[in-house]
Amino acid sequence: INLWHRRTCHQGIDSVISMIKNNLVEGMEVDPTDLLPDTPLPICSPCILGKHERTTFPLSNTRATKPLERIHADL
């Protein structure tokens, strides 16, 4: 399932399983034990990293009064 998850551009595992069960993709073969309900879902590092949220900027007591007086950037 993990291989097909990557081949379908990191589609959700439930969608990949649905494609397999409904024979929506020709030649899409997987180990039948991967479709059992108690089988743990594979961990996908790119998907985990893609779901991370960045931290917010801290509130400041002063406001910029002129253009370019304060600049924010992601590094």
Cα–Cα distances in angstroms (integers) from residue 3 to residues 9, 23, 27, 53, in the given order: 10, 16, 13, 26
Kindly report the pTM of this predicted structure. Answer: 0.54
CA-to-CA distance for 27 and 14, rounded, in angstroms? Answer: 19
User: What angle is formed at CA 39 by the lines to CA 34 and CA 49, rounded to 5 degrees?
Assistant: 90
pLDDT tens for the chain, residues 1 to 75: 788 888 888 888 888 888 888 888 888 788 888 777 787 777 888 888 888 777 777 887 888 899 999 888 888
**pLDDT, tens only, 48-57:** 888 877 777 7
CA-to-CA distance for 22 and 9, rounded, in angstroms? Answer: 19
- The ranges assigned to domains in the chain are 2-49
